[in-house]
Structure 1
Amino acid sequence: MNAKTVVKTGTLPTICRQCDMHCGIKVHIENGKLIKISGLDSHPENRGSVCPKGLAAIDTVYHEERLLKPLKKRPDGSFEEIPLGQAMTEIATKLLEIKEKHGARAVGCWQGEALGFAQQEKYARRFIHAFGSPNFFSCDSLCWASRYLAYGLVQGYWNPYSDVQNANLIILWGTNPPVSHPTFMKSIKEGRRKGAKLIVIDPRLTRIAKQADMHLRPLPGSDGALAWGLIHYLIEKKRYDTGFIENYTTGFEEFSAYAKEFTPELVAQKTDLTEHEIIGCCQMIVENLPRVANYVGVSIEHQDNGVNNLRAIACLGGLCGAVDIPGGDLWPEVMGVRDLNLYEKLPLADQKPVGADRFPVLYSFTKECHTMTGMDYILGKGEYPLRGLIICGGNPANTNPNAQKVAQAFSSLDLLVVRDLFLSETAKLAHYVLPAASFLERSELHFYTQHQWVSLSRKIMEIPGVVDEYSFWHELAHRLGFGEEYFPWETEQEVNSWLLEPTGITVDELQKRPEGMRYKPIKHQKFRDRLFPTPSGKFEFSSHYLEELGYPALPEYVEPLYLRDRSKDYPFILITGARKIVFLHSRFRNIQRFRRLHPRAEVEIHPEDAGRLGLQDNDQVRVMSKIGSITLPAKIVQEAEIRPGVIQITHGWEQESNVNRITFDMVNDPISGFPQVTSVPVRLEKIDSV
């Protein structure tokens, strides 16, 4: 690899993009080679700490399997290397052919996380609308967007990170920060040092659950019932913020009436918790009002009633009086940079974005097309054909539900272009694979709304022939004839300056301050002098907007699928969201020292269930759902680690070990369209050795 660093020897600060935490790091260079990553003490996001994934950025950059030259698929399915200019010419020609034959909307863009998910996403959104298509896809319709919708529907904003360091009580719903977001643990530990209590709600005994003052283990997918039970208690005992409710909310009367049925007795039946546990949780909340910080993990999204379960949790925060206060849920203010999106200039809503008719709230809030519906369009089951797709840093053939259907759909496209660092499962299906730049090979802006902070990452190195995301979209746009109007900047540095121009902060200032700077002081209780960004201008316990679209106005509780439609054929409940600290979805399994720690996928199972099936550790188990099966070795965990009747398989493993071969794409949350990728009904079958 002919990589060149910007300095021969020295230490340079930048921002890590191995995951979506955007931690400040220092890159140590000797004789033109990266030798070490360390934490940037002055950065507010991580304050000097670095997780194993961040430390492995050097492994990623110099990996022997790193893509360095464009690949074109031959008729026999193998790849040949071709020059970048030839690849770009052929891709542009094929895009124009599809546009001429089927219309611009027959082409889509798909952004994943492997190349970053900030400006990179905006470039893809800008490109596809300039091309004339409304069809932008991303991993957000599988992760993140349901929480964004749910909190947006209630209070008009979502802050991904509540103010746990100043809370009296921290409630973690379906999340395990020591593994999923390790740098966030600094804030949790700071809150704990100040005396904050900790409640963890998770069917599994996770690392964070072992640290909790109270660990509740409800049935998977029953979190909404528990939230309503907590709401019931606060209302019945009149221990809610009456001033906030009376002056700044709407819908409380009907919300309160609906809550009456969620008595401790009923909630115990719905969740399989004891009444004593439920009341104990309620009392701990009451004792620590109003500084109650709810932090909700992705697992709550992956239910077919996820949005309303999340809305109920958001409403619980309002009852506590925790909205936009220290130790609660900050209403973040944005910086006011220019917008790369073209939704005002080129809305293209008349072009019928994929899935917008099925899930109008998802599209209205995010301008995101529904990826699962996209598979049907590719396979000829949509209103119009979807024949071309450009995927940047995404691996949906692994990470989307019903993965074999995804592979079938991608294999049928007229044009599939994938930009990535490695030849992923998705890249192997592509007609063209283009090498992408890592985060160490570009500069971009990073925003931290929970801190109201902005940082600028620094380009550390470059590899000849490997271009960054902006350069790719710029080049393709100019070849297609709209580059001068929509991609006029020559470099990403020019883009950064243009974005910052209205703010009064310059690129030069940020370059001199590697940790970044606060763009606006944090103020609390802003609702006292401005309206909530909701249709009513108030905190909405009940949504007229949803009601007009035919959804329930209240965040009504619906039992998870496996409880509504009990089946003797599929008696086990599959959880898929538990992570390993060294992996992120399908990434980093090609780093050998990580692979040695976790060499394979496993079925985590309770000892009682293993006994009934006659299983020992490492016995092969076939796991079957209604759409397919996979075979994996069993891992019998301790009794306290998982509920009987529940199994766990970590997602992201390749091919036959991929749990998304058995997760559902056809069972969706009615509001967000999110798929049921956890709490999946399955059955198990021991495979006898020959």
Structure 2
Amino acid sequence: MHTTATHCPYCALQCGMNLRPAAGEAGESAVEVVEREDFPVNRGALCGKGRTAPALLSSRVRLTEPLIRTHATGTLEPATWEEALDAIAEGLGRTRRAHGPDAVGVFGGGGLTNEKAYALGKFARVALGTSQIDYNGRFCMSSAAAAHQRAFGLDRGLPFPLEDIPRTGCVILVGSNLAETMPPALRYLTELKENGGTLIVIDPRRTRTAAQADLHLAPRPGTDLALALGLLHLVVAEGHTDEAFIAERTTGWEEARAAAMAHWPELVERITGVPVPRLREAVSMFCTPSSAMVLTARGPEQQAKGTDTVSAWINLCLATGRAGRPHSGYGCLTGQGNGQGGREHGQKADQLPGYRKLTDPAARAHVAAVWGVDPDSLPGPGRSAYELLDALGGDVRALLLMGSNPVVSAPHASRIEDRIRSLEFLAVADVVLSETAALADVVLPVTQWAEETGTTTNLEGRVLLRRQALTPPPGVRSDLHVLHGLAARLGIDKGFPEDPEEVFAELRRASAGGPADYSGISYRAIEEHQGVFWPCPEDTPGPGTRRLFLDRFATDDGRARFIPVAHRESAELPDADYPVLLTTGRVVSQYQSGAQTRRVPELNAAAPEAFVEIHPRLADRIGAVEGAPLAVTSRRGRAVAPARITDTIRPDTVFMPFHWPGEGRANTLTNPALDPVSRMPEFKTCAVRVEPADAAAGS
């Protein structure tokens, strides 16, 4: 039977899979997943989400016709595509005419293909003329991106392919639970250990990933910055610095060293709770082999000091010569399926395609020439994601939202839900009726991964191609069709094609010469090389740049920059009223806000509801019982979910997954305090009070 080579619609591994026709429900075409062993990232392995992804293609769980909210009943009712697009164009146009272009906002998603992310950024700036555009990838790895930029001059999640991980001598994995967030990637850590390498996992919980570590450090949430500085202090004190590398390939070492030396081991132990002997053991494991890596994820990044925290881990790599060399380096494990590509091509508030800065006159001129507009007509940078959402109903009166569910995924979610409800007009394009889409004035049903062709860029910077395997249902159309139709209704007849390959060809021209140069990448080259790594200039087509920084860093002088940083406390600390720390994360059978995975029976059966993970000592103190509902209260709200009592978490910390709406919504509690550089919210730590739900109700 004919099979179509494509990629999983979920995380940033973008695992390869084949799709082949299968028996479907009456009137529906269907596909089933077949292993694709030739794709190097996963070699055929898939997690449960990937294997069950075709379940979302069923008309029983998805949107199949446009919906418009009627004035008479206030409910969403079926409409034609012409009616729906007319209503959106009228709603956005009316707001723009009455209050100016910045009264209209655009919010995108890290799951959109490169083509759609590019077209959405162009639509915001050319068709709407608004600066108010950002995307949920700001909540993913923006702190790591900012730290990458200021240290290396370039941000690519991993500056080396995943295949290099088993070849290094030691990996420090900070704030990542790969066993549940990216299960097929766990084999790289298994192979690392089989090859004689060692694994250090840093996480306040003894997760399934931490259980495989040679050394597990469990710091208090929000103290990763102090931990990294303490390790660098010991590196200096014990003579493990690579002085030749520092002299030849870096700048700023003296200031960074002085900052680290102020964080002596005993102080770091008091801050983090990690004993000094464990700190010394980690330094020995990291510095003994000839190569080593640090990989960070959301744990250290989703903090109000996330950029400085990542900078501290980069400083550790630079001081020990573990960067810009084979099988060594710092990398970020991007989370969302196209979190990397989504910000490279114009979806982010301050960027133009090719990772160009919106404030750079040369960048504006180049992109404007490709778009056929005056550079002066392009708006400047807008608000970051949370700030944009927080402005809804105020300065920003109308919103076009594609592929995101902030009612569940945004910090201080109850406030963001209120802000969304206060909009004069909301249009949502999505594959399901998410909690956010249910609040919209117009909802558009759009195509899914198996029903469209387009590219994504995985956590390695490998540009991949998803090929259409199915014809979408009659009432479903692509996001590119949406933007084409809206642009035409707003008076722009050209520049928004519906053919993804035509959009990609324009993206290539817009990115040419930029930091994320895709100009040498084509659909054919992607298929020939199992993906093409950017940068890939037009004059050097082929597999692209698999490994960055081996000869020079992407700074003006080719040297990496040490950034002097110092520990500072989290934005919110425990006190008498809120004495416990909350940290949040994922479970293996759900994804992001759960809007899609909660509709897959197999996944929902494995993880049907939220829960509160709590240590036995804390459980005894408050009278918590396994499985009984616990009330978790922060300064922003209250969530209720069953207790899971386990000794795999710190006694001063509780954990909640963030995939569910309703009373178990973890993001009702989380703190929107923002990193001053990346504007990342502090999802990973806030102060809470925990008590049995019946006692809380009685009080």
TM range, smaller chain: 0.7 to 0.9
2:201 counterpart residue number:
200
C-alpha distance in 1 between matches for 2:459 and 2:681: 28
Pair 1:567–1:453, CA change in 2 (3 A): closer
1:574 counterpart residue number:
582
SS of the counterpart of 1:324? Answer: coil
Listed one character per residue, the Cα deviations across residues 616-651 of structure 1 (whole Å, up to 9, x for unaligned) are 1122221111111122221212x2x00102111100
- Equivalenced residue count is 637
Out of 455, 474, 486, the residue aligned to residue 464 of structure 2 is 455
C-alpha distance in 2 between matches for 1:138 and 1:499: 18
C-alpha distance in 2 between matches for 1:535 and 1:306: 25
C-alpha distance in 2 between matches for 1:167 and 1:349: 49
SS of the counterpart of 2:329? Answer: coil
Shift of 1:187: 2.4
2:109 counterpart residue number:
112
C-alpha distance in 2 between matches for 1:500 and 1:98: 33
The code of the aligned residue for 1:686 comes to P
Listed one character per residue, the Cα deviations across residues 644-682 of structure 1 (whole Å, up to 9, x for unaligned) are 0211110020122101111122x2222222222222100
Equivalent runs, 1:642-653 vs 2, <5 Å: 642-653=649-660
Pair 1:423–1:430, CA change in 2 (3 A): same
Shift of 1:407: 1.3
Listed one character per residue, the Cα deviations across residues 581-637 of structure 1 (whole Å, up to 9, x for unaligned) are 443332311212211112211111111111111121122221111111122221212
Aligned residues of 1:166 and 1:326 also touching (Cα < 8 A): no
Aligned residues of 1:124 and 1:136 also touching (Cα < 8 A): no
Out of 39, 45, 54, the residue aligned to residue 41 of structure 2 is 45
Out of 640, 643, 654, the residue aligned to residue 661 of structure 2 is 654
Aligned residues of 2:295 and 2:330 also touching (Cα < 8 A): no
SS of the counterpart of 1:671? Answer: coil
1:419 counterpart residue number:
429
Q: Please, what is the CA RMSD of the aligned residues?
A: 2.6
1:478 has 2:488 as partner? yes
2:445 counterpart residue number:
435
1:60 counterpart residue number:
56
Pair 1:347–1:609, CA change in 2 (3 A): farther
2:32 counterpart residue number:
36
Shift of 1:84: 0.3
1:546 counterpart residue number:
none
Equivalent runs, 1:648-687 vs 2, <5 Å: 648-665=655-672, 667-687=673-693
Equivalent runs, 1:77-476 vs 2, <5 Å: 77-113=74-110, 115-130=111-126, 131-161=128-158, 163-289=164-290, 291-329=291-329, 341=352, 343=358, 344=364, 345=368, 353-354=381-382, 369-380=383-394, 385-448=395-458, 450=460, 453-462=462-471, 463-476=473-486
Pair 1:480–1:686, CA change in 2 (3 A): same
Pair 1:473–1:371, CA change in 2 (3 A): same
Pair 1:520–1:592, CA change in 2 (3 A): closer
Listed one character per residue, the Cα deviations across residues 461-496 of structure 1 (whole Å, up to 9, x for unaligned) are 122231112121122112212241x32x34113223
Aligned residues of 1:20 and 1:116 also touching (Cα < 8 A): no
Aligned residues of 2:37 and 2:44 also touching (Cα < 8 A): yes
Shift of 1:190: 2.5
SS of the counterpart of 2:674? Answer: coil
2:601 counterpart residue number:
592
Shift of 1:206: 0.5
1:606 has 2:615 as partner? yes
Shift of 1:160: 2.3
Shift of 1:120: 2.1
TM, length-normalised to structure 2: 0.86
Aligned residues of 1:573 and 1:682 also touching (Cα < 8 A): yes
Listed one character per residue, the Cα deviations across residues 552-583 of structure 1 (whole Å, up to 9, x for unaligned) are xx2221122444xx411110110112433443
2:499 counterpart residue number:
491
SS of the counterpart of 2:186? Answer: helix
C-alpha distance in 2 between matches for 1:148 and 1:262: 25
Structure 2 unmatched ranges of 5 or more:
333-339, 347-351, 359-363, 369-373, 513-518, 534-541
Pair 1:413–1:522, CA change in 2 (3 A): closer
Listed one character per residue, the Cα deviations across residues 506-527 of structure 1 (whole Å, up to 9, x for unaligned) are 434555x494466346576746
C-alpha distance in 1 between matches for 2:640 and 2:345: 47
C-alpha distance in 2 between matches for 1:190 and 1:435: 42
TM, length-normalised to structure 1: 0.87
C-alpha distance in 2 between matches for 1:51 and 1:594: 11
C-alpha distance in 2 between matches for 1:237 and 1:635: 42
1:507 has 2:557 as partner? no
Pair 1:448–1:612, CA change in 2 (3 A): closer
The code of the aligned residue for 2:656 comes to I
Aligned residues of 2:525 and 2:532 also touching (Cα < 8 A): no
Out of 15, 19, 32, the residue aligned to residue 11 of structure 2 is 19
C-alpha distance in 2 between matches for 1:211 and 1:407: 39
Aligned residues of 1:497 and 1:507 also touching (Cα < 8 A): no
Aligned residues of 1:108 and 1:386 also touching (Cα < 8 A): yes
Shift of 1:266: 1.4
Shift of 1:152: 1.5
Shift of 1:497: 4.3
C-alpha distance in 1 between matches for 2:693 and 2:462: 54
Point out the more displaced range, 428-437 or 95-104.
Answer: 95-104
C-alpha distance in 2 between matches for 1:389 and 1:643: 41
SS of the counterpart of 1:215? Answer: strand
Aligned residues of 2:259 and 2:565 also touching (Cα < 8 A): no
Listed one character per residue, the Cα deviations across residues 274-295 of structure 1 (whole Å, up to 9, x for unaligned) are 1111111111112124x11111
Structure 1 unmatched ranges of 5 or more:
1-8, 355-368, 543-553
